[in-house]
A and B are shown apart, each in its own frame.
Chain A
Amino acid sequence: MPGKLSAWPARVDVLQSLSGLLLVLFVWAHMFFESSILLGEDAMYRVTKMFEGEPLFGKPYPLLVSAVGIAVLTLVVVHAVLALRKFPGSSRQYGQLRQHMGALRHPDTTLWYVQCVTGFLLFFLVSVHLYTVITQPGNIGPYASADRIWSERFWIVYALLLVTVHLHAAIGVYRLAMKWYPPTGANPRAHRRRRKRAMWCILAFFLTLGCASLLTYMYLGYQHADRAGERYQPGTTVLATEED
Protein backbone atom coordinates (compact mmCIF):
# COMPACT_ATOMS: atom_id res chain seq x y z
CA MET A 1 0.00 0.00 0.00
CA PRO A 2 1.44 3.37 -0.93
CA GLY A 3 0.96 6.28 1.45
CA LYS A 4 1.40 6.88 5.12
CA LEU A 5 -1.12 4.35 6.41
CA SER A 6 -0.14 0.69 6.27
CA ALA A 7 -2.42 -2.28 5.77
CA TRP A 8 -1.97 -3.31 9.40
CA PRO A 9 -4.95 -1.54 10.94
CA ALA A 10 -7.19 -3.43 8.51
CA ARG A 11 -5.51 -6.75 9.20
CA VAL A 12 -5.61 -6.24 12.92
CA ASP A 13 -9.31 -5.36 12.78
CA VAL A 14 -10.06 -8.56 10.88
CA LEU A 15 -7.83 -10.58 13.19
CA GLN A 16 -9.65 -9.32 16.25
CA SER A 17 -13.00 -10.30 14.80
CA LEU A 18 -11.74 -13.60 13.46
CA SER A 19 -10.02 -14.66 16.70
CA GLY A 20 -13.20 -13.76 18.56
CA LEU A 21 -15.33 -15.76 16.19
CA LEU A 22 -13.09 -18.82 16.46
CA LEU A 23 -13.11 -18.62 20.24
CA VAL A 24 -16.89 -18.38 20.29
CA LEU A 25 -17.21 -21.40 18.05
CA PHE A 26 -14.77 -23.25 20.26
CA VAL A 27 -16.64 -22.31 23.43
CA TRP A 28 -19.98 -23.35 22.00
CA ALA A 29 -18.58 -26.68 20.81
CA HIS A 30 -16.89 -27.11 24.20
CA MET A 31 -20.28 -26.64 25.84
CA PHE A 32 -21.83 -29.45 23.88
CA PHE A 33 -18.97 -31.84 24.68
CA GLU A 34 -18.89 -30.84 28.32
CA SER A 35 -22.61 -31.31 28.66
CA SER A 36 -22.21 -34.93 27.55
CA ILE A 37 -22.24 -35.56 31.30
CA LEU A 38 -25.98 -35.01 31.10
CA LEU A 39 -26.06 -38.23 29.13
CA GLY A 40 -24.10 -40.02 31.82
CA GLU A 41 -20.51 -40.60 32.96
CA ASP A 42 -19.86 -43.02 30.18
CA ALA A 43 -20.82 -40.59 27.42
CA MET A 44 -18.56 -37.98 28.90
CA TYR A 45 -15.77 -40.54 29.32
CA ARG A 46 -15.98 -41.44 25.65
CA VAL A 47 -15.81 -37.79 24.66
CA THR A 48 -12.66 -37.27 26.71
CA LYS A 49 -11.03 -40.33 25.24
CA MET A 50 -11.99 -39.17 21.78
CA PHE A 51 -10.13 -35.92 22.36
CA GLU A 52 -7.12 -37.82 23.67
CA GLY A 53 -7.02 -39.50 20.25
CA GLU A 54 -7.87 -43.01 21.38
CA PRO A 55 -10.17 -43.85 18.44
CA LEU A 56 -7.35 -42.81 16.10
CA PHE A 57 -4.20 -44.12 17.76
CA GLY A 58 -5.58 -47.03 19.76
CA LYS A 59 -4.54 -45.52 23.08
CA PRO A 60 -5.13 -42.11 24.70
CA TYR A 61 -2.57 -39.31 24.39
CA PRO A 62 -3.59 -36.61 26.91
CA LEU A 63 -0.84 -34.40 25.50
CA LEU A 64 -3.15 -33.78 22.57
CA VAL A 65 -5.47 -32.01 24.97
CA SER A 66 -2.55 -29.94 26.21
CA ALA A 67 -1.75 -29.01 22.66
CA VAL A 68 -5.32 -27.84 22.02
CA GLY A 69 -5.20 -25.98 25.32
CA ILE A 70 -2.05 -24.16 24.27
CA ALA A 71 -3.57 -23.29 20.91
CA VAL A 72 -6.68 -21.89 22.56
CA LEU A 73 -4.57 -19.96 25.07
CA THR A 74 -2.63 -18.45 22.20
CA LEU A 75 -5.85 -17.42 20.51
CA VAL A 76 -7.11 -15.94 23.77
CA VAL A 77 -3.90 -13.97 24.23
CA VAL A 78 -4.05 -12.66 20.66
CA HIS A 79 -7.72 -11.73 21.01
CA ALA A 80 -7.14 -10.10 24.39
CA VAL A 81 -4.19 -8.05 23.23
CA LEU A 82 -6.11 -6.82 20.19
CA ALA A 83 -9.21 -6.08 22.21
CA LEU A 84 -7.22 -4.31 24.88
CA ARG A 85 -6.43 -1.56 22.35
CA LYS A 86 -10.10 -0.62 22.45
CA PHE A 87 -10.36 -0.43 26.23
CA PRO A 88 -10.22 2.96 27.88
CA GLY A 89 -6.48 3.68 27.99
CA SER A 90 -6.42 6.14 30.83
CA SER A 91 -8.45 7.11 33.85
CA ARG A 92 -9.58 10.17 31.91
CA GLN A 93 -10.94 8.00 29.10
CA TYR A 94 -12.49 5.63 31.61
CA GLY A 95 -14.18 8.52 33.34
CA GLN A 96 -15.51 9.86 30.04
CA LEU A 97 -16.86 6.46 29.10
CA ARG A 98 -18.59 5.99 32.46
CA GLN A 99 -20.14 9.43 32.29
CA HIS A 100 -21.21 8.86 28.70
CA MET A 101 -22.82 5.53 29.51
CA GLY A 102 -24.46 6.81 32.63
CA ALA A 103 -26.15 9.64 30.80
CA LEU A 104 -26.98 7.89 27.54
CA ARG A 105 -28.22 4.56 28.97
CA HIS A 106 -27.83 3.18 25.47
CA PRO A 107 -28.28 -0.61 25.40
CA ASP A 108 -25.63 -1.42 22.80
CA THR A 109 -23.03 0.77 24.45
CA THR A 110 -23.79 -0.87 27.78
CA LEU A 111 -23.44 -4.28 26.16
CA TRP A 112 -20.02 -3.29 24.95
CA TYR A 113 -19.06 -2.32 28.47
CA VAL A 114 -20.29 -5.71 29.65
CA GLN A 115 -17.90 -7.20 27.12
CA CYS A 116 -15.07 -5.10 28.46
CA VAL A 117 -15.70 -6.23 32.02
CA THR A 118 -16.27 -9.88 31.12
CA GLY A 119 -13.26 -9.81 28.83
CA PHE A 120 -11.11 -8.52 31.65
CA LEU A 121 -12.38 -11.21 34.06
CA LEU A 122 -12.09 -13.90 31.42
CA PHE A 123 -8.42 -13.26 31.02
CA PHE A 124 -7.89 -14.53 34.59
CA LEU A 125 -10.58 -17.20 34.67
CA VAL A 126 -9.58 -18.68 31.35
CA SER A 127 -5.94 -18.69 32.39
CA VAL A 128 -6.73 -20.70 35.52
CA HIS A 129 -8.91 -23.10 33.56
CA LEU A 130 -6.43 -23.56 30.74
CA TYR A 131 -3.54 -23.92 33.19
CA THR A 132 -5.18 -27.01 34.68
CA VAL A 133 -6.07 -28.36 31.26
CA ILE A 134 -2.59 -27.87 29.89
CA THR A 135 -0.71 -29.13 32.95
CA GLN A 136 -3.07 -32.00 33.84
CA PRO A 137 -4.60 -33.01 30.52
CA GLY A 138 -5.20 -36.55 31.77
CA ASN A 139 -7.34 -35.32 34.65
CA ILE A 140 -10.39 -34.74 32.55
CA GLY A 141 -13.08 -37.30 33.00
CA PRO A 142 -16.39 -37.85 34.75
CA TYR A 143 -14.91 -38.39 38.23
CA ALA A 144 -11.70 -36.42 37.82
CA SER A 145 -13.62 -33.36 36.68
CA ALA A 146 -16.41 -33.85 39.22
CA ASP A 147 -13.91 -34.17 42.04
CA ARG A 148 -12.10 -31.04 40.93
CA ILE A 149 -15.38 -29.18 40.79
CA TRP A 150 -16.72 -30.35 44.08
CA SER A 151 -13.93 -31.50 46.33
CA GLU A 152 -11.38 -28.97 45.10
CA ARG A 153 -14.08 -26.25 45.07
CA PHE A 154 -13.45 -25.39 41.44
CA TRP A 155 -17.17 -24.91 40.92
CA ILE A 156 -16.72 -21.30 42.00
CA VAL A 157 -14.31 -20.68 39.13
CA TYR A 158 -16.46 -22.56 36.67
CA ALA A 159 -19.67 -20.82 37.65
CA LEU A 160 -18.01 -17.45 37.12
CA LEU A 161 -16.44 -18.65 33.90
CA LEU A 162 -19.75 -19.95 32.64
CA VAL A 163 -21.56 -16.66 33.07
CA THR A 164 -18.77 -14.40 31.81
CA VAL A 165 -17.80 -16.48 28.82
CA HIS A 166 -21.35 -16.80 27.53
CA LEU A 167 -22.18 -13.17 28.02
CA HIS A 168 -18.98 -12.27 26.22
CA ALA A 169 -19.56 -14.77 23.43
CA ALA A 170 -23.23 -14.03 22.72
CA ILE A 171 -22.76 -10.26 22.75
CA GLY A 172 -19.60 -10.69 20.72
CA VAL A 173 -21.39 -12.59 17.98
CA TYR A 174 -24.16 -9.99 17.84
CA ARG A 175 -21.58 -7.23 17.59
CA LEU A 176 -19.63 -9.11 14.92
CA ALA A 177 -22.78 -9.39 12.84
CA MET A 178 -23.57 -5.69 13.29
CA LYS A 179 -19.99 -4.72 12.60
CA TRP A 180 -19.52 -6.53 9.32
CA TYR A 181 -23.01 -7.19 8.00
CA PRO A 182 -25.61 -4.93 9.62
CA PRO A 183 -29.19 -5.40 8.48
CA THR A 184 -30.25 -3.68 5.28
CA GLY A 185 -33.53 -3.73 3.44
CA ALA A 186 -36.92 -2.25 4.12
CA ASN A 187 -36.92 -2.34 7.90
CA PRO A 188 -33.40 -2.64 9.27
CA ARG A 189 -34.52 -1.70 12.78
CA ALA A 190 -36.90 -4.64 13.03
CA HIS A 191 -34.19 -6.87 11.63
CA ARG A 192 -31.77 -5.65 14.27
CA ARG A 193 -34.31 -6.30 17.00
CA ARG A 194 -34.59 -9.88 15.74
CA ARG A 195 -30.83 -10.27 15.86
CA LYS A 196 -30.77 -9.04 19.38
CA ARG A 197 -33.54 -11.40 20.39
CA ALA A 198 -31.51 -14.23 18.83
CA MET A 199 -28.54 -13.13 20.92
CA TRP A 200 -30.54 -13.35 24.15
CA CYS A 201 -31.94 -16.74 23.13
CA ILE A 202 -28.47 -18.12 22.44
CA LEU A 203 -27.28 -16.77 25.76
CA ALA A 204 -30.20 -18.34 27.62
CA PHE A 205 -29.66 -21.66 25.90
CA PHE A 206 -25.99 -21.93 26.73
CA LEU A 207 -26.43 -20.69 30.27
CA THR A 208 -29.10 -23.32 30.84
CA LEU A 209 -27.01 -26.03 29.29
CA GLY A 210 -23.93 -24.89 31.23
CA CYS A 211 -25.73 -24.67 34.54
CA ALA A 212 -27.29 -28.10 34.09
CA SER A 213 -23.87 -29.62 33.32
CA LEU A 214 -22.18 -27.85 36.19
CA LEU A 215 -24.86 -28.94 38.64
CA THR A 216 -24.54 -32.49 37.37
CA TYR A 217 -20.77 -32.41 37.91
CA MET A 218 -21.30 -30.90 41.35
CA TYR A 219 -23.81 -33.60 42.24
CA LEU A 220 -21.50 -36.25 40.90
CA GLY A 221 -18.58 -34.78 42.82
CA TYR A 222 -20.68 -34.67 45.98
CA GLN A 223 -21.63 -38.35 45.54
CA HIS A 224 -18.04 -39.21 44.76
CA ALA A 225 -16.52 -37.06 47.48
CA ASP A 226 -15.51 -39.95 49.75
CA ARG A 227 -13.77 -41.62 46.85
CA ALA A 228 -12.22 -38.44 45.48
CA GLY A 229 -9.21 -39.11 43.31
CA GLU A 230 -10.49 -42.40 42.02
CA ARG A 231 -10.81 -42.46 38.22
CA TYR A 232 -13.83 -43.51 36.28
CA GLN A 233 -13.86 -46.97 34.77
CA PRO A 234 -16.19 -47.47 31.82
CA GLY A 235 -19.38 -49.36 32.53
CA THR A 236 -19.45 -48.79 36.29
CA THR A 237 -22.01 -46.11 36.51
CA VAL A 238 -25.53 -45.84 37.76
CA LEU A 239 -26.05 -42.38 36.33
CA ALA A 240 -25.47 -43.04 32.67
CA THR A 241 -27.63 -44.94 30.27
CA GLU A 242 -25.95 -48.05 29.06
CA GLU A 243 -24.39 -48.01 25.64
CA ASP A 244 -22.44 -50.62 23.79
Chain B
Amino acid sequence: MNTIPVSEAPRSLLIRILRHNPCDPDSAPHFESFELEEAEAMTLFIALNEIRQTLDPSLQFDFVCRAGICGSCGMIINGRPGLACRTLTRDLPQCITLAPLPGFELIGDLSVNTGKWMRGMAERLETWVHAQHLERVDIDQLEQRMEPELAEKLYELERCIECGCCIAACGTAQMHEDFVGAVGLNQVTRFHLDPRDERSDAEFYQLVGDETGVFGCMTLLGCEDYCPKDLPLATQIAFLRRRMVATAR
Protein backbone atom coordinates (compact mmCIF):
# COMPACT_ATOMS: atom_id res chain seq x y z
CA MET B 1 0.00 0.00 0.00
CA ASN B 2 2.88 2.33 0.72
CA THR B 3 3.61 3.89 -2.63
CA ILE B 4 7.06 5.28 -1.98
CA PRO B 5 9.29 3.23 -4.25
CA VAL B 6 12.15 1.44 -2.56
CA SER B 7 15.44 2.19 -4.23
CA GLU B 8 18.13 -0.43 -4.31
CA ALA B 9 21.32 1.22 -3.15
CA PRO B 10 21.20 4.72 -1.68
CA ARG B 11 22.59 7.41 -3.95
CA SER B 12 25.40 9.63 -2.87
CA LEU B 13 24.10 13.17 -3.31
CA LEU B 14 26.36 16.05 -4.20
CA ILE B 15 24.83 19.22 -2.82
CA ARG B 16 26.38 22.48 -4.01
CA ILE B 17 25.42 25.46 -1.93
CA LEU B 18 26.01 29.12 -2.72
CA ARG B 19 27.55 30.41 0.49
CA HIS B 20 28.19 33.86 1.83
CA ASN B 21 28.20 35.31 5.32
CA PRO B 22 27.69 39.08 5.16
CA CYS B 23 28.61 39.35 8.87
CA ASP B 24 32.10 38.19 8.02
CA PRO B 25 34.14 40.86 6.18
CA ASP B 26 36.39 38.15 4.71
CA SER B 27 33.51 36.19 3.21
CA ALA B 28 32.86 36.28 -0.54
CA PRO B 29 30.05 34.43 -2.34
CA HIS B 30 31.24 31.00 -3.43
CA PHE B 31 29.90 27.51 -4.03
CA GLU B 32 30.67 24.78 -1.57
CA SER B 33 29.91 21.12 -2.19
CA PHE B 34 28.77 18.57 0.35
CA GLU B 35 28.47 14.85 -0.14
CA LEU B 36 25.60 13.12 1.55
CA GLU B 37 24.07 9.68 1.45
CA GLU B 38 20.45 9.82 0.37
CA ALA B 39 17.85 8.37 2.75
CA GLU B 40 14.31 7.16 2.12
CA ALA B 41 11.78 9.98 1.79
CA MET B 42 14.57 12.51 2.26
CA THR B 43 13.56 16.11 1.76
CA LEU B 44 15.88 19.07 1.41
CA PHE B 45 14.86 19.93 4.98
CA ILE B 46 16.34 16.67 6.19
CA ALA B 47 19.36 16.92 3.91
CA LEU B 48 20.29 20.47 4.93
CA ASN B 49 19.91 19.72 8.62
CA GLU B 50 22.12 16.68 8.21
CA ILE B 51 24.75 18.81 6.50
CA ARG B 52 24.61 21.33 9.32
CA GLN B 53 24.76 18.69 12.02
CA THR B 54 27.48 16.53 10.55
CA LEU B 55 29.46 18.51 7.97
CA ASP B 56 29.30 22.25 8.52
CA PRO B 57 27.59 23.69 11.60
CA SER B 58 27.85 27.25 10.30
CA LEU B 59 25.47 26.65 7.38
CA GLN B 60 22.54 29.09 7.48
CA PHE B 61 19.05 28.34 6.18
CA ASP B 62 15.46 28.92 7.26
CA PHE B 63 12.84 26.34 8.06
CA VAL B 64 9.84 26.76 10.31
CA CYS B 65 6.87 24.47 9.70
CA ARG B 66 8.74 22.03 7.41
CA ALA B 67 5.27 21.12 6.02
CA GLY B 68 4.98 23.53 3.10
CA ILE B 69 2.63 26.00 4.75
CA CYS B 70 4.71 28.77 6.36
CA GLY B 71 6.73 29.90 3.34
CA SER B 72 10.09 30.20 5.15
CA CYS B 73 12.21 27.89 3.07
CA GLY B 74 11.93 29.33 -0.42
CA MET B 75 15.24 28.88 -2.23
CA ILE B 76 16.63 28.31 -5.69
CA ILE B 77 16.79 24.57 -6.29
CA ASN B 78 18.68 23.67 -9.46
CA GLY B 79 17.88 27.08 -10.87
CA ARG B 80 14.20 27.12 -9.98
CA PRO B 81 12.55 28.71 -6.95
CA GLY B 82 10.69 26.31 -4.69
CA LEU B 83 9.98 25.28 -1.12
CA ALA B 84 12.90 23.22 0.12
CA CYS B 85 10.97 21.49 2.90
CA ARG B 86 8.65 19.67 0.58
CA THR B 87 11.16 18.96 -2.16
CA LEU B 88 12.07 15.28 -2.09
CA THR B 89 15.64 14.54 -3.09
CA ARG B 90 14.47 11.51 -5.07
CA ASP B 91 12.81 13.94 -7.50
CA LEU B 92 16.15 15.65 -8.12
CA PRO B 93 19.29 14.57 -9.95
CA GLN B 94 22.30 13.36 -8.01
CA CYS B 95 23.86 16.82 -8.12
CA ILE B 96 21.72 19.45 -6.43
CA THR B 97 22.57 23.14 -6.57
CA LEU B 98 21.03 25.41 -3.93
CA ALA B 99 21.13 29.19 -3.84
CA PRO B 100 19.31 31.84 -1.83
CA LEU B 101 16.25 33.51 -3.35
CA PRO B 102 17.41 36.50 -5.39
CA GLY B 103 15.69 39.84 -4.92
CA PHE B 104 15.86 39.76 -1.13
CA GLU B 105 18.43 40.95 1.37
CA LEU B 106 20.83 38.11 2.15
CA ILE B 107 21.16 37.15 5.79
CA GLY B 108 23.61 34.35 5.17
CA ASP B 109 23.98 31.35 2.86
CA LEU B 110 20.42 30.23 2.01
CA SER B 111 18.71 32.56 4.45
CA VAL B 112 17.17 35.73 3.05
CA ASN B 113 15.11 38.49 4.61
CA THR B 114 11.75 37.87 2.99
CA GLY B 115 10.02 39.12 6.14
CA LYS B 116 11.35 42.64 5.76
CA TRP B 117 10.38 42.72 2.08
CA MET B 118 6.87 41.44 2.75
CA ARG B 119 6.28 43.86 5.61
CA GLY B 120 7.36 46.72 3.33
CA MET B 121 5.02 45.48 0.64
CA ALA B 122 2.12 45.17 3.09
CA GLU B 123 2.67 48.69 4.39
CA ARG B 124 2.92 50.08 0.89
CA LEU B 125 -0.15 48.33 -0.47
CA GLU B 126 -2.06 48.57 2.81
CA THR B 127 -3.03 44.93 2.67
CA TRP B 128 -5.70 44.96 5.32
CA VAL B 129 -9.43 45.47 5.43
CA HIS B 130 -10.12 49.19 5.35
CA ALA B 131 -13.43 49.94 6.99
CA GLN B 132 -14.70 52.75 9.07
CA HIS B 133 -15.55 51.90 12.67
CA LEU B 134 -13.47 48.73 12.54
CA GLU B 135 -12.48 49.35 16.14
CA ARG B 136 -16.08 49.65 17.20
CA VAL B 137 -17.55 46.51 15.65
CA ASP B 138 -20.23 45.14 17.94
CA ILE B 139 -18.83 41.70 18.53
CA ASP B 140 -21.77 40.65 20.66
CA GLN B 141 -24.06 40.66 17.63
CA LEU B 142 -24.35 38.18 14.78
CA GLU B 143 -21.56 38.51 12.24
CA GLN B 144 -22.19 40.09 8.83
CA ARG B 145 -23.41 37.50 6.37
CA MET B 146 -21.33 36.52 3.37
CA GLU B 147 -22.09 34.29 0.40
CA PRO B 148 -20.38 30.93 0.98
CA GLU B 149 -18.98 31.00 -2.53
CA LEU B 150 -17.40 34.41 -1.98
CA ALA B 151 -15.78 33.24 1.23
CA GLU B 152 -14.21 30.34 -0.65
CA LYS B 153 -12.99 32.65 -3.39
CA LEU B 154 -11.38 34.92 -0.82
CA TYR B 155 -9.61 31.99 0.76
CA GLU B 156 -8.35 30.90 -2.64
CA LEU B 157 -6.51 34.22 -2.94
CA GLU B 158 -5.51 34.23 0.71
CA ARG B 159 -3.62 30.94 0.41
CA CYS B 160 -0.49 32.90 -0.51
CA ILE B 161 2.26 32.12 1.99
CA GLU B 162 4.59 35.02 1.07
CA CYS B 163 7.42 32.62 0.34
CA GLY B 164 8.92 34.95 -2.25
CA CYS B 165 9.12 32.37 -5.04
CA CYS B 166 7.11 34.65 -7.36
CA ILE B 167 9.60 37.46 -6.81
CA ALA B 168 12.54 35.18 -7.52
CA ALA B 169 10.77 33.88 -10.64
CA CYS B 170 9.90 37.34 -11.95
CA GLY B 171 12.24 39.04 -14.45
CA THR B 172 10.61 42.39 -13.72
CA ALA B 173 11.12 42.10 -9.98
CA GLN B 174 14.72 41.06 -10.57
CA MET B 175 15.37 44.17 -12.64
CA HIS B 176 13.24 46.62 -10.65
CA GLU B 177 13.60 46.44 -6.88
CA ASP B 178 10.53 48.56 -6.23
CA PHE B 179 8.12 46.31 -8.16
CA VAL B 180 5.54 44.85 -5.77
CA GLY B 181 5.36 41.57 -7.65
CA ALA B 182 2.65 38.97 -7.94
CA VAL B 183 2.52 38.54 -4.16
CA GLY B 184 1.58 42.20 -3.74
CA LEU B 185 -0.81 42.41 -6.67
CA ASN B 186 -2.60 39.20 -5.66
CA GLN B 187 -3.15 40.58 -2.17
CA VAL B 188 -4.59 43.76 -3.60
CA THR B 189 -7.10 41.74 -5.64
CA ARG B 190 -7.93 39.77 -2.49
CA PHE B 191 -8.94 42.95 -0.65
CA HIS B 192 -10.57 44.38 -3.75
CA LEU B 193 -12.83 41.31 -3.84
CA ASP B 194 -13.65 41.55 -0.14
CA PRO B 195 -16.91 43.42 0.47
CA ARG B 196 -15.72 44.24 3.98
CA ASP B 197 -13.02 46.46 2.47
CA GLU B 198 -14.57 49.82 1.69
CA ARG B 199 -11.84 51.15 -0.58
CA SER B 200 -12.89 52.36 -4.02
CA ASP B 201 -11.22 51.47 -7.31
CA ALA B 202 -9.75 54.97 -7.39
CA GLU B 203 -8.13 54.37 -4.02
CA PHE B 204 -6.73 51.04 -5.19
CA TYR B 205 -5.40 52.81 -8.27
CA GLN B 206 -3.36 55.04 -6.00
CA LEU B 207 -1.72 51.90 -4.59
CA VAL B 208 -0.92 50.02 -7.78
CA GLY B 209 -1.49 52.39 -10.71
CA ASP B 210 2.09 52.77 -11.90
CA GLU B 211 5.19 50.96 -13.05
CA THR B 212 5.98 49.69 -9.55
CA GLY B 213 2.48 48.26 -9.41
CA VAL B 214 0.25 46.50 -11.87
CA PHE B 215 1.56 48.35 -14.94
CA GLY B 216 5.07 47.18 -14.21
CA CYS B 217 4.08 43.57 -14.85
CA MET B 218 5.27 42.38 -18.26
CA THR B 219 3.39 39.07 -18.15
CA LEU B 220 6.48 36.90 -18.04
CA LEU B 221 4.38 34.41 -16.03
CA GLY B 222 7.24 33.13 -13.88
CA CYS B 223 5.07 33.89 -10.83
CA GLU B 224 2.26 31.68 -12.01
CA ASP B 225 4.56 28.86 -13.09
CA TYR B 226 6.57 28.68 -9.86
CA CYS B 227 3.93 29.50 -7.24
CA PRO B 228 4.10 26.60 -4.75
CA LYS B 229 0.45 27.14 -3.92
CA ASP B 230 -0.71 27.17 -7.57
CA LEU B 231 -2.43 30.51 -7.13
CA PRO B 232 -4.16 31.94 -10.24
CA LEU B 233 -1.73 34.86 -10.33
CA ALA B 234 -1.94 35.71 -14.04
CA THR B 235 -5.72 35.85 -13.82
CA GLN B 236 -5.61 38.10 -10.78
CA ILE B 237 -3.05 40.48 -12.28
CA ALA B 238 -5.02 40.70 -15.54
CA PHE B 239 -8.20 41.39 -13.62
CA LEU B 240 -6.50 44.14 -11.66
CA ARG B 241 -4.99 45.60 -14.82
CA ARG B 242 -8.38 45.80 -16.52
CA ARG B 243 -10.01 47.32 -13.46
CA MET B 244 -7.30 49.89 -13.05
CA VAL B 245 -7.44 50.83 -16.74
CA ALA B 246 -11.20 51.24 -16.45
CA THR B 247 -10.69 53.39 -13.37
CA ALA B 248 -8.15 55.63 -15.06
CA ARG B 249 -10.39 56.36 -18.02
A residues with CB within 8 A of B: 1-5, 7, 9-14, 85-86, 88-89, 93, 96-97, 99-101, 103-106, 108-109, 112, 175, 178-184, 188
| A1 to B242 alpha-carbon distance, docked (Å) | 16
B76 within 8 A of A: yes
| B210 and A9 within 8 A (CB) | yes
Q: How far is the CB of A178 from chain B (nearest CB, A)?
A: 5
| A104 and B235 within 8 A (CB) | no
| B175 and A188 within 8 A (CB) | no
B211 within 8 A of A: yes
Q: How far is the CB of B82 from chain A (nearest CB, A)?
A: 11
| B202 and A104 within 8 A (CB) | no
| A106 and B169 within 8 A (CB) | yes
| A3 and B206 within 8 A (CB) | yes
| A175 to B79 alpha-carbon distance, docked (Å) | 24
Pick 9 A–B contacts, CB within 8 A, sort by A: A93-B176, A97-B175, A99-B102, A100-B171, A109-B221, A109-B222, A112-B171, A179-B238, A182-B235
| Contact segment of B60-68, B83-91, B119-127, B212-220 | B212-220
- Tell whether A108 pairs with B225 under 8 Å between CB atoms, given A5-B205, A180-B238: yes
Q: How far is the CB of A182 from chain B (nearest CB, A)?
A: 4
B113 within 8 A of A: no
| A10 and B219 within 8 A (CB) | no
Please, which residues of chain A bring their CB within 8 A of the CB of B175?
88-89, 93, 96-97
| A3 and B202 within 8 A (CB) | yes
Please, which residues of chain A bring their CB within 8 A of the CB of B102?
96, 99-100
Please, which residues of chain B bring their CB within 8 A of the CB of A105?
79
Please, which residues of chain A bring their CB within 8 A of the CB of B80?
103-104
Closest to B217 in A: A179
Please, which residues of chain B bring their CB within 8 A of the CB of A175?
219
Please, which residues of chain B bring their CB within 8 A of the CB of A10?
205, 209, 215, 244-245, 247-249
| A5 and B235 within 8 A (CB) | no
Q: A88-B175, A89-B175, A175-B219 are in contact. List 12 more A-B contacts (CB 8 A).
A: A5-B210, A9-B248, A10-B244, A85-B211, A96-B175, A112-B220, A178-B219, A179-B217, A179-B238, A181-B238, A182-B235, A188-B232
Closest to A179 in B: B219
| A9 and B211 within 8 A (CB) | yes
| A103 to B247 alpha-carbon distance, docked (Å) | 38
| A2 to B201 alpha-carbon distance, docked (Å) | 12
| A1 and B222 within 8 A (CB) | no
| A108 to B209 alpha-carbon distance, docked (Å) | 24
Q: How far is the CB of B154 from chain A (nearest CB, A)?
A: 17
Q: How far is the CB of A243 from chain B (nearest CB, A)?
A: 46
| B241 and A180 within 8 A (CB) | yes
**B112-134 CB contacts (< 8 Å) to partner A:** none
